[in-house]
Amino acid sequence: MPQKILVIGGVALGPKAACRCKRLLPDAEVTLIDENVNISYGGCGIPYYVSGEVNTVNDLRATPYNVIRDPKFFAELKDVTVRIQTRATAIDRAAKLVRVKNVVTGEEDTLSYDKLVLATGASPRVPPVEGHDLGNVLSLTRLEAAETIRHACENGSVKEAVVVGGGFIGLEAAVALADMWGVKVSVVEMMDQILPGVLSAQLARMAAVDCTKHNTDVYTGEKVLRLEGKDGKVCKVVTDKREIEAQLVIFAAGFTPNGQLAKDAGLDVTPFGAITVNEYMQTSDPDIYAGGDCVSIPNLITGKPGYLPLGSMANRQGRVIGTNLAGGKATFPGYVGTWIVKLFDMSFCGVGLTIDKARKEGFDAVSVSVEQVDRAHFYPEKELMSLEIVVDKASRRVLGMQGACTAGDALKARIDAVAGALQFAKPTVDDISNLEISYAPPFAGAMDVVNVVANVADNVLAGRFTPITADKFMELWQNRADNNVFFIDARPAKAGKAVQEQYPDWHSIPLEEIRARVNEVPKDRPVALICNTGLRAYDTLLVLARHGVTDLCNSMGGMQAVMKMGLKP
């Protein structure tokens, strides 16, 4: 008797598991069911369809070689049976049966299985606010919603839009609307920063500046209270701080794993509703596998169960499940949390824990950031990159790294190199100081920014200098009437003098002049240093320290970081 494989869910993981299994076990009877019409589509591409960068919905449904992945495709080329518009309503594990229902006809049926795969995905979280069911209030997870939004943009009926949630999808949607359609967008985020949980406050501030520069207002620490409508369509968003006109509202406030079917069948699920799986992606019933947005997998940094709903995770897990359905022993050990997002001019990327998350997880952690160009400083084409490293103080273990750059691929290269290390080891600051990335002047610095940020962390851990973030520096500066800080701008005279003319307390002492003018610096006051990126200030600090000035702090990332955060003296 051929094995019967049944897969519930047909977006990313389901088709991958089904086809992989079928390839390894050509005699198996593989059936995939999904309650929707569209299956096997690139859900992560939806914002790019909304923006118009992806031309048609079918581009998201096609293979790289341009064949639509519909039930016929799976039948003819993959020998996998697909039943669309078919919802699984219950699993009888004892009898190995799944109860299904056609969502159009209501017809019910029972499918038997030898091995079952749950690829039920996740549902967008829609806050239960008044008006959430109005027209033009959508989540960005279904192709149908994407078509509605794109159509509304194309016919010009959207002048203003509100995105609720400043995470990846929310911001990608905001970029699509503002950048490509000229819509005035407001992002409303409950937390006190955008990209919460994945960026530090400082880097998130840079992300917000990138948004506000591009017709996109960012309101953080703000809650949507209700939506108001007109003729059944949304026309206004009311928050706890303001009212915003909007002809379109996109909810992007996170996801809830679809674990109910599993839970009802008595399978283990986490308190937040994700299905529990082992490293073979098996649920608590070894004949039932699960993966993708509906499961919890270990966070390899904390060692605790975690949740990372990403299309790339689903694809890789799908292959593991397919192998194991066919009798293999493939494993998926967990995740380190690598991500990237393209906003307007800037891209942001990260891996592992942010400083806030690290502290929440109980680490005695510190974070250090730098601004440095992404290739040899003498190479003509280069971009300034911000990198922040998060480190456990006692063990020197690197817990995460995040960054920002206009050159997204270059940023990705640094973060992914660290991700490669984090997945297989517990690298220390010293390991990242020595991290061997590929080097040639058009692509990296001889002492590359990814090494430098670790070097700076090493110096900070050793107490060799006291770093402050650029926004903290500006806070000190704004409060200079109340503190006794002496401010030094170590940039070339031209840059520093311009500020000093306006504010005499801003002391322009270029690095080149510091030895001659060292006596201008008081030894009995705290001294705060700034320059363009941090390097001149560091060299100035070394000279001052040799001359007995000891209470020194250096602004990380210098004026470049100040400007990226939208601040000024």
Q: Which of residues 444-503 bind a copy of itself (CB under 8 A)?
A: 444-448, 451, 455, 464, 492
130-149 per-residue burial string, b: 16 or more CB within 10 A, e: under 16: ebbebbbbbbbbbbebbebb
CA angle 92, 94, 96 (to 5 degrees): 60
Query: Quick check: is 349 catalytic?
Result: no
Give, as ranges, the residues between 524 and 553 that touch a copy of itself (CB under 8 A): 531-533, 535-536, 539, 542-543, 545-546
Q: Does 134 bind a copy of itself (CB under 8 A)?
A: no
In this complex, which beta carbon is closest to a copy of itself, that of residue 219 or of residue 538?
A: 538
CB 69 within 8 A of CB 57: no
Site mask, a copy of itself, residues 13-32, x = CB under 8 A?
---x------xx-x------
Q: Calculate the alpha carbon distances from 227 to 132, 147, 244, 252 in Å.
A: 7, 22, 10, 15
Site mask, a copy of itself, residues 166-185, x = CB under 8 A?
--x---x-------------
In this complex, which beta carbon is closest to a copy of itself, that of residue 234 or of residue 429?
A: 429
Please, what is the minimum distance in Å from the beta carbon of residue 338 to a copy of itself?
4
Site mask, a copy of itself, residues 371-390, x = CB under 8 A?
-xx--xxxxx----------
Please, what is the minimum distance in Å from the beta carbon of residue 484 to a copy of itself?
26
| Count, residues near a copy of itself per rule CB under 8 A | 111
Stretch that binds a copy of itself, among 2-10, 139-147, 148-156, 308-316 (CB under 8 A): 308-316
In this complex, which beta carbon is closest to a copy of itself, that of residue 145 or of residue 485?
A: 145
Residue 288 amino acid letter: I
The one among 37, 67, 90, 104 contacting a copy of itself by CB under 8 A: 67
In this complex, which beta carbon is closest to a copy of itself, that of residue 492 or of residue 526?
A: 492
In this complex, which beta carbon is closest to a copy of itself, that of residue 128 or of residue 380?
A: 380
Please, what is the minimum distance in Å from the beta carbon of residue 120 to a copy of itself?
18
CA angle 237, 213, 208 (to 5 degrees): 65
Torsion of CA 202, 207, 213, 217, to 10 degrees: -100
Please, what is the minimum distance in Å from the beta carbon of residue 47 to a copy of itself?
8
Site mask, a copy of itself, residues 399-418, x = CB under 8 A?
--------xxxx-xxxxxxx
The one among 115, 316, 357, 507 contacting a copy of itself by CB under 8 A: 316
* Separation of alpha carbons 80 and 30, rounded Å: 5
Q: Residue 493, CB half-sphere, CA atoms under 13 Å: how many?
A: 3
Residue 26: Cβ-neighbour burial (10 angstroms; 0-12, 13-18, 19+): exposed
Total residue count of the chain as it appears in this document:
569
CB 203 within 8 A of CB 194: no
Please, what is the minimum distance in Å from the beta carbon of residue 104 to a copy of itself?
28
* Separation of alpha carbons 553 and 121, rounded Å: 48
Q: Which residues pair with 335 in a beta bridge?
A: 299
CB 21 within 8 A of CB 5: yes
Residue of 19, 21, 44, 294 marked active site: 44
The one among 309, 423, 472, 563 contacting a copy of itself by CB under 8 A: 423
Spatial CA neighbour of 10 closest among 145, 108, 118: 118
The one among 213, 425, 501, 550 contacting a copy of itself by CB under 8 A: 425
Stretch that binds a copy of itself, among 2-10, 313-321, 358-366, 517-525 (CB under 8 A): 313-321
Q: In the numeric block, which tokens belong to residue 108?
A: 């019910």
Please, what is the minimum distance in Å from the beta carbon of residue 131 to a copy of itself?
31
In this complex, which beta carbon is closest to a copy of itself, that of residue 114 or of residue 539?
A: 539
Please, what is the minimum distance in Å from the beta carbon of residue 349 to a copy of itself?
5
Give, as ranges, the residues between 287 and 306 that touch a copy of itself (CB under 8 A): none
The one among 97, 134, 201, 340 contacting a copy of itself by CB under 8 A: 340
For residue 32, give the 3-state DSSP assignment: strand
Residue 442: Cβ-neighbour burial (10 angstroms; 0-12, 13-18, 19+): exposed
Q: What are phi and psi of 192, to 5 degrees?
A: -85, 15
In this complex, which beta carbon is closest to a copy of itself, that of residue 53 or of residue 109?
A: 53
Q: Calculate the alpha carbon distances from 176 to 183, 226, 474 in Å.
A: 9, 24, 33
Q: Does 506 bind a copy of itself (CB under 8 A)?
A: no
Q: In the numeric block, which tokens belong to residue 347?
A: 């891209």
In this complex, which beta carbon is closest to a copy of itself, that of residue 186 or of residue 299?
A: 299
Q: What are phi and psi of 396, to 5 degrees?
A: 65, 10
Q: In the numeric block, which tokens belong to residue 234?
A: 């949304």
**DSSP state, 371?**
E
DSSP string, 82-120: EE-SEEEEEEETTTTEEEEEETTT--EEEEE-SEEEE--
Stretch that binds a copy of itself, among 200-208, 211-219, 343-351, 359-367 (CB under 8 A): 343-351
Give, as ranges, the residues between 68 and 87 that touch a copy of itself (CB under 8 A): 76-79
The one among 511, 527, 544, 567 contacting a copy of itself by CB under 8 A: 511
The one among 351, 391, 401, 470 contacting a copy of itself by CB under 8 A: 351
In this complex, which beta carbon is closest to a copy of itself, that of residue 259 or of residue 510?
A: 510
Q: Does 320 bind a copy of itself (CB under 8 A)?
A: yes
* Separation of alpha carbons 429 and 393, rounded Å: 10
The one among 127, 305, 311, 566 contacting a copy of itself by CB under 8 A: 311
Q: Does 512 bind a copy of itself (CB under 8 A)?
A: yes
Q: Calculate the alpha carbon distances from 151 to 57, 141, 183 in Å.
A: 12, 16, 13
Q: Does 330 bind a copy of itself (CB under 8 A)?
A: yes
Q: Does 335 bind a copy of itself (CB under 8 A)?
A: yes
Residues that are catalytic: 44
